[in-house]
Every structure is written in C-alpha cells, then in structure tokens.
Structure 1
Amino acid sequence: MAWFEEFEHRGPIRVEGGLRARSKRGSIGSTWWSRRFIDILERVCDKGRLTRGRAYARQGQVLSIDLAAGEVRAAVQGSRREPYDVVIRIEAFGESRWAGLEEAIAAQAVHRARLLAGEMPEEIEELFAAAGADLFPRDLDMDCSCPDWGFPCKHLSAVLYLLAEAFDDDPFLVLAWRGRTREQLLGSLAAGEGPGVPEVEDVPFAERLADFYAPGATAHPPERRPAAASPALLLRVFPPPGDLGRVLAPAYERMGEGPAAL
C-alpha cells in the first residue's frame, strides 16, 4: 500500500480558476435548506474525508459542476494530472408525482407566495413528506474515478459542499435536482393565480454558478437576500371579493413606491 500512501499525502495539483467556496472556515451553508443537506451528509459520510473535501472546496480544486434532473457531474483536480470525474445521482420525480406536489404547494397560499418571491419556506419539507416524497435525498448514488475507496472520497465531498453553497444562493436548484426547474414550477404556480402574474426567467445552472463563485476570492460577498415581492402580489395570493381588487390595486402599487407616494 506504499504507493497509495504516497498518492494520498503528496497533495493535489493546484489549479487556477477553479470553483472556490465562499466559506473560509467552519461549517458550510447558511440557509436552512443548505444546512439540512449538509446535516444529512455529515451524519452518513466519513468525517475525515468530509474535512478534506471542505479543504478542496476552499482551495478551488473543483473545476466544473453541471446539475441536471437526478444527476450532478463534476470534474475535480487531485494529485494526478487528469482531473477525476465525479457523478452524484438522486431520484428525479416523474410528472405525475410533480403534478401532485405542485397541487399541494398551490393549495398553500403562503408557500406559493414565498416561492414566487424566490424563497424556500421551511414547511415545504413537511409538505413533500406528506405526499410521500423526500425533498432532500436520503440516499446518494455517488461515483468518483479516483482510487480512494473511502465513502465519500474528498473529491465527492468537495462537490457536495459546493452544491450546498449553490443551494444557499438559489433554493430552486434543490428542486431542479429533483426534476423541476424554476421556470416549470413557478409557471405552474403562476398559472393557478390567473392573469397578471409576472413571468420568472429561468437562468441555466452554469450561468448562475459562474456568477455565484468568484475564483480566488478571499472576502465574503455581501449577504444575498431574496428580492422583495411586489405589494400587488398580496392581492393575487389573497384576492378580495368582487371588484374590490380593482379598487385596491392602485393603492398597493403606491405602497411599493414608498411613503412619499401615499
């Protein structure tokens, strides 16, 4: 086993322009949904390799991440010249299951409003469970082309931690991994609210990832908060009877312009 010990301890080949975690020390993940994902990993995975995976994520050893329904593929630079190929698979829900989930979400006006505003309500995990589905995966089918037999290896761990930070920035990636993009879900929820709901553009994961990670950055970026929803959204979520909505709409729009407009 001397060859493997030498391979294990000589360290990775440093790269320029890799995906680098924003967190510089301590735990990774700041929102409830990313911490939920990390908590699951840290309960079932080897703690030593998770620690080394955090170091890889912070050093920028992950070269690329591509997320699609049911699958994440990544390239990680280790101690060999060729990067390692990483694949992480989960169950992507089918159309019939998603139709039931969307119906359950749409029935909860507050959940629907928060999702339309770009937030992930914590209660949505219970909603998934009530429908017989797990929002966060209990089982991960993971593969890495490296020779390390640990589970997961540090290359897989690095990708998992970077996924958690990406989930911080965009909770809809959690749902996209399960098989529903932001555009599909919000389009379905908006369709149930009638006319006048603004369209939400779906940005490809690769573009969001490029904006999110700053290779070589050493300082934490300002905290990202969900954009404030339009005051008129309240009228669409809780429509008043009769023509009252038409009467109240101008006042709600003036509320969004600040005190000077009232």
Structure 2
Amino acid sequence: MPVGRDGWFEAARPIRVDGGIRARSKRGSIGEQWWSRRFVDLLELVCDAGRLQRGRAYARRGQVLDLDLGPGLVKARVQGSRTEPYDVSVRITAYGADEWAELTGALGARAVHRAKLLAGEMPPEIEDVFEQCGLPLFPGERGLDMECSCPDWGFPCKHLSAVLYLLAEAFDEDPFLVLAWRGMARDALLDALRHTGGRADGKDGGRPALLDVADVPFAERVGDFYESGASPARLGPPADPGSPSDLLLRALDPPPVKARHIPLLDLLRPAYRAFAVEDDA
C-alpha cells in the first residue's frame, strides 16, 4: 500500500464514477447561504486543510455515490481507488420530542421567526433561539462523530471531507435538512408551528397566542376599539426590510373563503405586494 504525505492511505487516483453526486461549485469555497456557510466554517476550523482540499476535489469529481440524511445520521458511499466504495457516516445528537417541544414553543413565540419558517425561509436569528434553549443548532468542535472505512488514519479523510461538502450544498438547497438532521422533519416542524400559534411553550397552558384577542363587547371598547389587541412585546422585533410583503399571508392558515371562485389569499397577495411597492416609491 503506497504511503502518501498524510499517512497510510491510497495515493493512487480514484476510480472514475459515472452518475455520482457532483458538487455544483466548480472552484473556490462551497456553501452559499448563511446556514451552509456556518457549517462549512465549522469544518474548516476543526479539520485538516489538506484533506478538506482533496475532499472538495472528490466532491466536484462526483466520487460520492449516494448521500442519505436521517435524524442524527448521514450515511454515504465514496468511491476511492479500491474496487469497493468506502462507507462513510457522520453523526450528531438528534433532539428528542421534549426538546423539540421546547424549541417549537420558543420559535412559535417569536412572530417573525415563525412566519419566516412557515414561509419556507431560515431566519439567521434561529441559531440564537436554539442557544437560548441550551440546544445548539450546529455541532460544535466535538459535536461530529465521523467514521470512514478507508485505511487513512488522518481525520477527517478526503472521503469524509467530500461528504461534508456535499452535505453543505444539500443544506443550500433545503435549509430544513439542518433541522431534520437534528431530529425534526420539515412537515412535522411546520405543523407544530401552526398549532403552536405563538404560545411560549407550545402547550395550551402557555401565554396567549399572538393573534388571540379577547372578545369584549363594543360598548366597552369604544375608546380603544381600533388599537391592536397584541402588545409590542408580543409582536417582537419588526420584520427586516428583506422580508416578503405577503409574509403574514404565508404564515396564517388560508381561510376557506373564495370570491368569484378565486381563493381569498390569491386576491390579497397582489394587494399586499402593491402596497409594498407604493411604500418604496
């Protein structure tokens, strides 16, 4: 077995693969969105730079045959210079039902975060919510348990590095994979947020939902009838300028109302967008 600069590993060129998973990035760094860059920054902080460079080359060459992500575990096969592909696994802690109940309650209690997640976006502040619950979103320096069946004693080897970079690109395409790796699938999370409705703990005994307003007779509300039923504290910080104008419509469950056989939301969205254009003018 040839010995390379990194130790005991196969120095020969890898067997060419047809139909492997190729990284979209052709040069430079991998990862475009903030969540995938956050993951790549962690890798480049704790992993050997030389192996990461060779891992990027493997990822761009399509040496990774498959990639499967589930709660707490990513599995892959990587073709090296041997006939049989190497088996790769990357593990992190997947949070349980009680931990996710706390997280969804905390996310649901923040109106803007909840609305963005329901709209398919990943707000940068979500990482702070996880930290406040004592449950990190991204693994720390010792939060990754990685294995490869190759003979390279270096850590991580280029096969692991290739899988990690392709994982970052998968996060680019679907940010909810970050949460699925921690144990909460996209559909389950969004369903939990819809039912949380802004409660602090995700349960019926929590504080009132964001849009819950007491039903008070009009005669008792003459003086403040047109004021908001929700306090500024419950509303949380204002949406950032980059938020879509119809963010609220995306967050709320669509009403079963139609006008001329057209769903009400389909009629309201153009109006919301028109108002935003007028505000910018």
The question of a shared fold, defined as TM-score above 0.5 by the shorter chain, is answered with: yes
TM-superposed deviation, 1:250: 8.6
SS at match of 2:10: helix
Structure 1 unpaired stretches of 5+: 195-227, 238-247
What's the counterpart of residue 184 of structure 2?
180
Residue type at the aligned position of 2:97: E
Q: Which runs of 4+ in 1 moved over 4 A?
A: 228-232, 248-251, 256-259
**Matching of residue 87 in structure 1 with residue 89 in structure 2:** yes
C-alpha distance in structure 2 between counterparts of 1:78 and 1:249, whole Å: 52
C-alpha distance in structure 2 between counterparts of 1:69 and 1:39, whole Å: 22
Percent of pairs with identical residues: 62
SS at match of 2:2: helix
TM-superposed deviation, 1:253: 4.0
Give TM-score, length-normalised by structure 2: 0.71
- Choose between structure 1 and 2 for higher RCO, CA contacts under 8 A separated by at least 6 residues: 1
**Matching of residue 192 in structure 1 with residue 196 in structure 2:** yes
| Cα contact 2:76–2:163 (8 A) shared by 1 | yes
Select 1:155's aligned residue among 150, 153, 159.
159
Residue type at the aligned position of 1:3: P
* Structure holding more helix per residue: 1
| Cα contact 1:111–1:124 (8 A) shared by 2 | yes
User: What's the CA shift string for 1:207-241, capped at 9, x where partnerless?
Assistant: xxxxxxxxxxxxxxxxxxxxx6856627839xxxx
C-alpha distance in structure 1 between counterparts of 2:158 and 2:67, whole Å: 15
Structure 2 unpaired stretches of 5+: 199-243, 254-263, 276-281
User: What's the CA shift string for 1:22-56, capped at 9, x where partnerless?
Assistant: 00000000111000000001000011000000000
C-alpha distance in structure 2 between counterparts of 1:231 and 1:37, whole Å: 27
Give TM-score, length-normalised by structure 1: 0.76
- Using a 3 Å threshold, how does the CA distance of structure 1 residues 68 and 235 change in structure 2: closer, same or farther? closer
C-alpha distance in structure 1 between counterparts of 2:251 and 2:186, whole Å: 23
C-alpha distance in structure 1 between counterparts of 2:122 and 2:96, whole Å: 21
What's the counterpart of residue 205 of structure 1?
none
Q: Which has the larger radius of gyration?
A: 2
C-alpha distance in structure 2 between counterparts of 1:112 and 1:229, whole Å: 15
Q: Give the aligned CA root-mean-square deviation in angstroms.
A: 2.8
- Using a 3 Å threshold, how does the CA distance of structure 1 residues 254 and 24 change in structure 2: closer, same or farther? closer
C-alpha distance in structure 1 between counterparts of 2:251 and 2:165, whole Å: 39
- Using a 3 Å threshold, how does the CA distance of structure 1 residues 81 and 103 change in structure 2: closer, same or farther? same
Residue type at the aligned position of 1:157: S
User: What's the CA shift string for 1:145-168, capped at 9, x where partnerless?
Assistant: 000011100000000000000001
User: What's the CA shift string for 1:175-207, capped at 9, x where partnerless?
Assistant: 00000000110000112349xxxxxxxxxxxxx
SS at match of 2:252: helix
What's the counterpart of residue 110 of structure 2?
108
| Cα contact 1:45–1:152 (8 A) shared by 2 | yes
C-alpha distance in structure 1 between counterparts of 2:90 and 2:53, whole Å: 19
Aligned length: 218
Residue type at the aligned position of 2:249: L
TM-superposed deviation, 1:257: 8.1
Select 1:145's aligned residue among 143, 149, 154.
149
C-alpha distance in structure 2 between counterparts of 1:110 and 1:130, whole Å: 17
- Using a 3 Å threshold, how does the CA distance of structure 1 residues 164 and 229 change in structure 2: closer, same or farther? farther
- Using a 3 Å threshold, how does the CA distance of structure 1 residues 157 and 101 change in structure 2: closer, same or farther? same
What's the counterpart of residue 268 of structure 2?
252
C-alpha distance in structure 2 between counterparts of 1:50 and 1:254, whole Å: 47
